[in-house]
Structure 1
Amino acid sequence: MVTATTSPPHAIVIPYPAQGHVIPHLELAHALVDRGFTVTFVNSEFNHHRVLAAMADTTATTGLLGRIRLVAVPDGMEPGEDRNNLVRLTVLMAEHMAPRVEDLISRSHAETDEPITCMMTDYSLGTWTLDIARRTRIKSAAVWPASAAVLASLLSIPKLIQDNIIDSKDGSALMQGTFKLSPDMPIMHTAHLAWNCIGNHQGQDALFRNVFGCVRAVEKCDLLLCNSFLGAEEATFAQFPKVVPIGPLLTGERRGRAVGHFWRPEDDACVSWLDAQPARSVVYVAFGSFTMFDTRQFQELALGLELCGRPFLWVVRPDIVHGDVHDYPPGFLDRVGGAGGRGKLVAWSPQQQVLAHPAVACFVTHCGWNSTMEGVRNGVPFLAWPYFADQFVNQLYICDVWKVGLRAEADESGVITKEHIASRVEELMSCASMRDRVEAMKKVALESLKEGGSSHDNFDMFVRAMKE
């Protein structure tokens, strides 16, 4: 095995090719560089080009971030294919990315004076990345970029099968209802198991096989890391002691450095507008990189933001509406935009900077884990509006466990109405006890990252293990 005694520590970092995974893995790469590592950061070609396009031009021309080298490998999908089809993407990556990653590691050993000595792989790629680490005899850590509770549900798949809660073939629910992984952990719903709420049922069995394969694969790695902190999920970490919390990773806080976004942030437009707003007055609305709306729900959201009577900053991603047509309600843009309007619409935002701004009062969110952690560590209460995958469990934490947010609830037709949105926003803005709870969580999160804090000490332990 190549070790730090014969060469400087050199990590290869491989995220799953989705923005919510690339961002925390790139922050992990920066943190490793801070501790003396060289990093090779491997993206799919498609996402590599998106990250470069969102970076400063001077950095994008080189593909270098100090001691981080950005590398692209093909994911096996054709140009123009729908990369939101996560089932197909996951299957193709194992076939097309694996041999190139293994060749990259092998060539570093044969041809360079800084051979790759360790791997940080996204947990969701573990079926093939951890086999490569074993064959090339380098240390490895699997990184779970979401909540420990969702990771616990994956690690519990054998028991869920044994207890006849899920089907062994495709993971589908054999019982409709709720269950607990341990007496002290939150109640979970069978329909909200991550593999049961990604896309449609086509390819469900293949997706579940990959998920189940990752459970077996992580037994081969040296460490299993989680982007959470002890105070957020103490019961889960007690029940699953092999999961090591190192979060919340400070995603988005490295100003002037690439953080993994796929769209160029409109920094000046967002921040200068926020600077002109009163303290704790702005409703911030952002739904991540995957959430899609139909036209009716999109319009109800627009009208709800108008109806709430508060200034709002709304991130309207270019592809957020099915069909890519932003069909705003008649006259909406004229009423809320312009010099006298209360609304600011942008295609993307520097979210960490926005949530840290004193003008922001609440966060209407899809409950992605990065967004959840960013909201918590900035002390901002949530209107929780999940879309898919782990986001339903994250909503449960936000609303029922931590009690730092409210649910956005659909009516009998499945639509979250403008009246409901406005009412929930008003309730959030006026609830002092909820703000006190999220401020208390913020304090715990930040304490965990300081020297002597649990996440800080865990990260140091991880660094030592990878350097040995």
Structure 2
Amino acid sequence: MGQQPQDAVAANGNGGGKRPHAVVIPYPLQGHVIPAVHLALRLAARGFAVTFVNTESVHRQITSSGGRHGGGGGDDIFAGAGGGAIRYELVSDGFPLGFDRSLNHDQYMEGVLHVLPAHVDELLRRVVGDGDDAAATCLVADTFFVWPATLARKLGVPYVSFWTEPAIIFSLYYHMDLLTKNGHFNCKEPRKDTITYVPGVEAIEPGELMSYLQDTDTTTVVHRIIFRAFEEARGADYVVCNTVEELEPSTIAALRRERPFYAVGPILPAGFARSAVATSMWAESDCSRWLAAQPSRSVLYVSFGSYAHVTRRELHEIARGVLASGARFLWVMRPDIVSSDDPDPLPEGFAAAAAADGRGVVVPWCCQVEVLAHPAVAAFLTHCGWNSILESAWAGVPMLCFPLLTDQFTNRRLVVREWRAGVAVGDRGAVDAGEVRAKIEGVMRGEEGEVLREQVGKMRATLHAAVAPGGSSRRGFDELVDELKRRCGGGGRH
């Protein structure tokens, strides 16, 4: 997508050498693209030339959502951001743009597993080059890809594995062999007793594992991706994690005994405001006027993220509970939340009942950081995606946790059991309106809500301190930058 800006390859003042070059490739899902964009911006701000690679499909969704960067630049989402040091490239995922990746999830994942790597290989050979260019380059790729260590070795460049979930999830996947050996995973009848042997992970119940580690069928395409990805992760030169050392100290300490592991989170847009770079794959509704009309700490924000689906029955129970609670609410209803061929899954009359007294509004998508930062918002009913947890904690908003898939079950354990910044709500296939109503009332209006706000306030202070000068995440990022500049010939900190 155009030529690399001249200043991105200009001398950096260290003996006339080229800037170190980072090729950043996020996994092609919304929750992975967002932190990768902001990691790329951080690297550019620290003197790296960056090539950022999206799939054509992700790019099409971002630009068609109306989310082009305001600075112009046509199809380059980084136009006007990154100080001109970020080059934007696209790669095919092997499917036509009109292919419904949500409706045909498994077929799409097969393509990510088998087809995408060849397209990435071709692109990397073009953007990395050879000789001095290759020596100045590092590959920063999402851990869930099945090719980074292999391609990095072929190209002779360092591989930085970018992990967008908490450290505990990385550790559990990294030690799948231990879980299998002890009969807690990859067997017909997994053990149900407490798991106590994973390095750096305190006692964890089987029901708190990621959903893919609770499955008895491990032949699915997602399992095959996970197995391959963590074989590759063992070949990573460095692991960069969107977490905070003070939140997961024992887990991070154990992982550092395995390989260089940098906790640099939370990776959020500058100023916790609307991103300078377009990242949203859906058009964002402007909720500011409605929120401004609501009393302070009176609104329940509801969102189940960008990827996982709920059933119609679960959605109806939650909707009835939200209405029965009497709480004001802002509900983000992603267009394919149940399925892309079921565009109106809410109970009949729900929207009318909410709008009748003006206490509720349903939108397809929104700028979540702006909503969570608004003083009208009192609590967040969430699927426990890691980005959502970090954003909620950063804003000091307690959570009601209804996990749907993958890491979200383990994330709920962190929020509810370890950090006490939220409460659990139901479970997959076992949620009812009465419980939803009671939990909302407790968090929004009860004594429990005050305790939660105090706890999430402590978590908020921890996150803010971590990224401040002298904080653990700031130091971790400084150390990562120094190490990559040493490897890529860009000199040390400056």
The question of whether the paired residues in 1 share the 8 Å contact of 2:351 and 2:362 is answered with: no
- 1:313 is matched with 330
Pair 109,329 (structure 1): closer, same or farther in 2 beyond 3 Å = closer
Residue equivalent to 1:404: 421
Change (3 A) 1:373 1:114: same
Specify the alignment match of 2:433 in structure 1. Answer: 418
Question: 2:26 and 2:113 mapped to 1: Cα distance?
Answer: 13
In the other structure, the counterpart of 1:132 is 151
Amino acid at match of 2:143: Y
2:190 pairs with one of 165, 168, 174? 174
Query: How far apart in 2 are the matches of 1:110 and 1:292?
Result: 41
> Among 218, 226, 236, which residue is 2:233 paired with?
218
Q: C-alpha separation between the residues in 1 aligned to 2:73 and 2:354?
A: 36
Q: CA 1:118–1:194 in 2, change beyond 3 Å: closer, same or farther? A: farther
Q: Which amino acid aligns with 2:386?
A: W
Q: CA deviation at 1:452?
A: 0.8
Counterpart selection for 2:294 from 277, 290, 293: 277
User: 1:389: how far off?
Assistant: 0.4
Describe the shift of the 1:81–1:310 C-alpha distance in structure 2 as closer, same or farther (beyond 3 A).
closer
Code of the residue aligned with 1:56 in structure 2: it is R
1:105 counterpart residue number: 124
User: Separation in 1 of the partners of 2:362 and 2:294?
Assistant: 15
Distance 1:221 1:347 in 2: 38
How far did 1:178 drift?
A: 3.1
1:56 aligns with 2:68: yes
Structure 1 partner of 2:28: 17
CA positional deviation for 1:97: 2.5
Q: State the shift of 1:189 in Å.
A: 1.1
1:72 is the counterpart of 2:72: no
Aligned AA (1:47): V
Is residue 2:456 matched to residue 1:438? Answer: yes
2: CA distance, partners of 1:220 / 1:51: 32
- CA drift of 1:425 comes to 0.8
CA–CA distance in structure 2, aligned partners of residues 256 and 249 of structure 1: 12
Q: State the distance in 1 between where 2:407 and 2:157 align.
A: 31
CA–CA distance in 2 between the matches of 1:189 and 1:391? Answer: 14
Match of 1:391 in 2: 408
Amino acid at match of 1:15: P
* RMSD over equivalenced CA pairs, Å: 2.8
TM-score between both structures, scaled by the size of structure 2: 0.85
What amino acid does structure 1 have at the position aligned with 2:139?
M
Counterpart of 1:123, as a letter, is T
Structure 1 residue 154, shift from structure 2 partner: 1.0
Is the contact made by 2:351 and 2:361 (CA closer than 8 Å) also made in structure 1? no
Q: Which residue of 2 aligns with 1:29?
A: 40
Q: Deviations over 1:222-277 (max 9, x none)?
A: 2111111012111211222243211111148353522522112113xx11211111
Report the equivalent of 1:381: 398
Q: 1:317-332 alignment to 2 at 5 Å?
A: 317-322=334-339, 323-332=341-350
Cα distance, 1:183 vs. partner? 7.5
Find the counterpart in structure 1 of residue 223 from structure 2.
208
* Residues 178 and 187, structure 1, Cα contact 8 Å, conserved in 2: yes
Aligned to 1:40: 51
SS at match of 1:224: strand
Secondary structure of 2:310's match? coil
Whether contact under 8 Å (2:316, 2:346) holds in the other structure is yes
Percentage of matched positions with identical amino acids:
31
Distance 1:146 1:234 in 2: 15
**SS of structure 2 residue aligned to 1:179:** coil
Q: Distance in 2 between matches of 1:26 and 1:16?
A: 11
Higher mean C-alpha deviation, range 110-119 or range 382-391: 110-119
Distance 1:246 1:75, change over 3 A: same
Residues 210 and 408 in structure 2, CA contact (< 8 A), matched pair in contact too: no
Aligned to 2:4: none
Counterparts of 2:353 and 2:184, CA distance in 1: 51
CA distance in 1, matches of 2:150, 2:172: 23
Unmatched runs of 5 consecutive residues or more in structure 2: 1-8, 487-494
Structure 1 contact 29–41 (Cα < 8 Å) conserved:
yes
Match of 1:144 among 154, 163, 166: 163
Deviation at 1:149, TM superposition (A): 0.7
Q: Number of residues paired by the alignment?
A: 456
User: CA separation of 1:64/1:394 partners in 2, compared to 1, >3 Å: closer, same or farther?
Assistant: closer
Distance 1:317 1:457 in 2: 37
Conserved 8 A contact 1:26-1:259: no
Q: TM-score, normalised by structure 1?
A: 0.89
Q: Is the 8 A contact 2:137 2:157 kept in 1?
A: yes
